[in-house]
Amino acid sequence: MKIFVTGTRGIPDIPGGVETHCEHLYPLIVDRGHDVLLATRSTYVTDNRVFWKGVRLIKCFSPGAKSLEAIVHTFIALLKARLYNPDVVHIHAVGPALLTPLARLLGLKVVFTNHGPDYDRQKWGKLAKFALRLGEKLGGVWANEIIVISDVIKDIIRKRCHRESNLVYNGVPVPVLSNNFDFLDKFNIKPGKYLLAVARFVPEKGLTDLIKAFQGLESDLQLVIAGDADHETAYSRDLKKRAANDERIVLTGYITGDDLNQIFSHARLFVLPSYHEGLPIALLEAMSYGLPVLVSDIPANKEIDLPTERYFCCGDLDDLRDKMRKLLKRSLSDVEKRDLRDRVITHYNWSRIADQTIAVYEKII
């Protein structure tokens, strides 16, 4: 098959859940003998490479304004897709899905992956939220097949679009724990003596809550936050200012590869205080390292079905601080760590996800 992909900023090493999903998924689909063409956004992918791990990269213009970026890029990508005559066009996320009717009118067969209700994100205004809800509806009605990454989203599609969808989880690769410390040394991070958060600097990730709760802990532990903002905002500037005022808080910026491996390998506790998620890849990554986790009790996080003590009431700083204090007093046993890793390998395996995605493509060919 020839598959044309749009709705993502691009690959590789571009921050974002959809981007990480595509970076892991499509090389595996190429390895199974299929051709994959992936539209990248010019504001994020600036080099001139044509292929990455067998995936052909099709550079398309995208404007700098975040409100126009996805829709303009998707429009251009779909026009290019028609020229390549693919067997399937795969549209990711509810914003780009606004143009699913256009893809069908162009004679393209469409798979739409709903990565979550992006209209719940705090950064969007009323008009943007309306557009995203409309994208979810149009993608859900017009796509030949729909993929969802959680049962929560499956229920949304059933209620809003009156049809069934294909449940295909996000995944994570199984890591080899790092024995290196050079990146930690660079930031004076003490192995085993820090809490870790991995997230973009946007309000719905709850990082301000985490900083406030952490600052109320009587501890010599550090808080390490790996990530940054896609677009500098008042929120991201305030977040960096708060961190700069506490010497125990370390911001590493956006990191990948061995640097990220080191950060996960030597953490004491992973914390995800999000108000909104689809199916959080960062949480799955932490679990794949056998890392103790503490997450907000939003539906997407609760779908992973962790023990009760691993959840705190979303937005409740006192509960977050209290749960952190309790979990820091004990470590996971080797058996508990192995169970966490085995669970990820079984349910969130990229090889299995690639086969499930190909099966959805085959439904409409």
Superfamily of domain 182-347: Glycogen Phosphorylase B; (3.40.50.2000)
DSSP annotation string for 155-173:
HHHHHHH-S--EE-----P
* Model confidence at 143: pLDDT above 80: yes
pLDDT at 66 > cutoff 80 = no
Q: In this predicted model, which residue has the larger pLDDT, 304 or 191?
A: 191
**Model confidence at 60, in pLDDT bands (50, 70, 90)?**
very high
Average pLDDT over residues 284-295: 93
Give yes or no for residue 122 having a pLDDT over 80. Answer: no
State the alpha helices, DSSP H only, in the chain: 17-31, 66-84, 100-105, 126-142, 151-161, 182-186, 207-215, 234-244, 257-265, 281-288, 299-302, 317-327, 334-347, 350-363
pLDDT at position 119 is 66
Kindly report, residue by residue over 326-362, the tens digit of the pLDDT: 999 888 888 888 888 888 888 899 999 999 999 999 9
Percentage of the chain exceeding pLDDT 90: 75
pLDDT in tens, 177-220: 999 999 999 999 999 999 999 999 999 999 999 999 999 998 89
Question: Residue 252: phi, psi to the nearest 5?
Answer: -95, -15
Q: What are 243-267's pLDDT values in tens digits?
A: 999 999 999 999 989 999 999 999 9
What pLDDT is stored for residue 347 in this prediction?
84
| C-alpha separations of 255 from 112, 200, 226, 309 in Å | 29, 11, 7, 29
In whole numbers, what is the pLDDT of the chain averaged over residues?
93
- The whole model's pTM is what? 0.81
The mean pLDDT of 29-44, rounded to a whole number, is 96
Please give the class, per CATH, of domain 2-171+349-363. Answer: alpha beta
The domain locations on the chain are: 2-171+349-363, 182-347
Give the model's confidence band at 120: pLDDT under 50 very low, under 70 low, under 90 confident, else very high. low
Question: Would you say residue 109 has pLDDT above 90?
Answer: yes
% of the chain beyond a pLDDT of 70: 98
